[in-house]
Amino acid sequence: RTRMSTMHETTVTAPVNIAVIKYWGKRDSALILPTNSSLSVTLSQDHLSTRTTIRASPDFPKDRLWLNGVEEDIAASKRLINSITTARNLRAALEQKLQEDGTTAETVVPLSKWSLHICSENNFPTAAGLASSASGYAALVSALGALFNLPQSTSDLSRVARVGSGSACRSMFGGFVAWQAGVSDDGHDSFAVQVADRQHWPELQALILVASDKKKAISSTAGMQTTVETSELFAERVRSVVPKRMEAMQRAITERDFATFAEITMRDSNQFHAVCLDTYPPISYMNDISRSIVSLVHAFNAARGRVAAAYTYDAGPNAVIYALKDDMRDLVELVTYCFPRDESTPPEAFYPDSFAIFDS
Ligand code: 2P0
């Protein structure tokens, strides 16, 4: 017997983002409120994204979720429960409002009371060690917003993505995105805003260099907690460095000033990794290949007599390089010459805008 009339389904995709001003540190771990604002570039959905389908039905006995085909235990994840429950509460409020407004009860589908089946897939190898929680929670919350027909703005919904994973709030937008840390205890002022859309600066490209596809030793969540508790350098970063950089970075993006954009990006990556080393016991995410790519980018810039490329590293050894289109062509040639790919390099390596793989 088909129950199509009572089945509702939505599919969305959400992209990965790479921070140029790094988020590292929480002032509230339960609500995922950061110690400092951050800023990122959202990558193209074609290469790195999560695709999530959600189905709601009165016939489902409970919520279930599959990640890349493997069922996850929702009850074991506070983050999943928090984000799903928050979206469901927004839907319940909407249903109540529609009823109060006089919409006949039969036309208000009680989606807030139905259970969900959630299916989420990354279009990139999870083993490649690239951030998947950002696109994952952004896709989940975008799909819930669409399924529930929520009237909230994207910035409002970014708050819901934030309680799943901090960096996910930035993946709710394309282009250049700031996550404003806020100062409140309840998180109402901690959400993402778009600084500029992708079309604002189409010549800017990102190249991803996979230096290792091993899983990282210390998770971001655990690592940043230890940093907050032990690093003195970190306190200085939060107090006096990041606020200045947030302003300068937004100006560089608005003015399409690549040299400034690139220098702040490299300096902020370097400071983030310095703060990790200042953590006690120290955290070290970059490896020898990461460090030789740093040297290569500085040599490339020195040879050009200007800042033509910028590296940035997250909580792992893989490099993301930003450059303008004309310089990216030469940079890719240089990198492939210095780091010849081995047999195991997957054939999907491509550029521009951009995904190249170099195995150690
Ligand atoms: C960032 N990272 O700004 C920084 C730079 C890693 C290094 O956001 O605990 O996975 O889920 O809020 O978002 C990684 O942190 O941590 C991260 P949670 P998340 O992109």
Residue 359: what pLDDT? 32
- How buried is 226 (Cβ within 10 angstroms: 0-12 exposed, 13-18 middle, 19+ buried)? middle
Cβ of residue 165 lying under 6 Å from some atom of ligand 1: yes
How much is the average pLDDT of 57-65? Answer: 97
Mutate to test the pocket of ligand 1, among 220, 238, 249, 276 (most ligand atoms within 8 A of CB): 220
Task: Look at phi and psi of residue 129 and say left if phi exceeds 0, alpha if psi is from -120 to 50, else beta.
Answer: left
Q: In what order do the strands lie in the sheet with 176-180?
A: 17-21, 38-42, 176-180, 191-196
Q: Which helix (H) or strand (E) segment is 35 a member of?
A: none
Which residues 6+ apart lie within 8 Å of 131 measured at CB? Answer: 16, 17, 18, 167, 314
- pLDDT tens for residues 269-311? 999 999 999 999 999 999 999 999 999 999 999 999 999 999 9
Which residues 6+ apart lie within 8 Å of 6 measured at CB? Answer: 57, 58, 59
The 3-state secondary structure of 132-182, one letter per residue: CHHHHHHHHHHHHHHHCCCCCCHHHHHHHHHCCCHHHHHHHCCCEEEEECC
Residue 344: what pLDDT? 58
- How buried is 288 (Cβ within 10 angstroms: 0-12 exposed, 13-18 middle, 19+ buried)? exposed
How much is the average pLDDT of 198-214? Answer: 88
Which of 114-128, 305-319, 339-353 shows the highest mean pLDDT?
Answer: 305-319
Cα of 161 vs centre of ligand 1, distance in Å, is 13
- CA-angle at 312, arms to 168 and 40, nearest 5°: 35
Cβ of residue 221 lying under 6 Å from some atom of ligand 1: yes
Strand partners, 65: 72, 118
pLDDT band for 246, please (50, 70, 90 cuts).
Answer: very high
Residue 129: what pLDDT? 57
Q: Which domains does the chain have, with CATH numbers?
A: 4-200 (3.30.230.10), 204-338 (3.30.70.890)
Pair of tokens at residue 284: 């070290």
* Strand bridging mode 115-122 / 191-196: unpaired
Q: Which DSSP symbol is given to 203?
A: T
Cα of 155 vs centre of ligand 1, distance in Å, is 18
Task: Report the mean per-residue pLDDT for the chain.
Answer: 91
What is the helix, strand, coil percentage profile of the chain, to 5?
45, 20, 35
Cβ of residue 23 lying under 6 Å from some atom of ligand 1: yes
Mutate to test the pocket of ligand 1, among 23, 179, 245 (most ligand atoms within 8 A of CB): 23
- Give the residue, by CA position, lying nearest to ligand 1 atom 12: 166
User: Is the CB of residue 23 less than 8 Å from the CB of residue 234?
Assistant: no
Cβ of residue 167 lying under 6 Å from some atom of ligand 1: yes
Lowest mean pLDDT of 193-202, 226-235, 343-352, name the range: 343-352
Cα of 104 vs centre of ligand 1, distance in Å, is 44
Q: Which residue has the higher pLDDT, 124 or 258?
A: 258
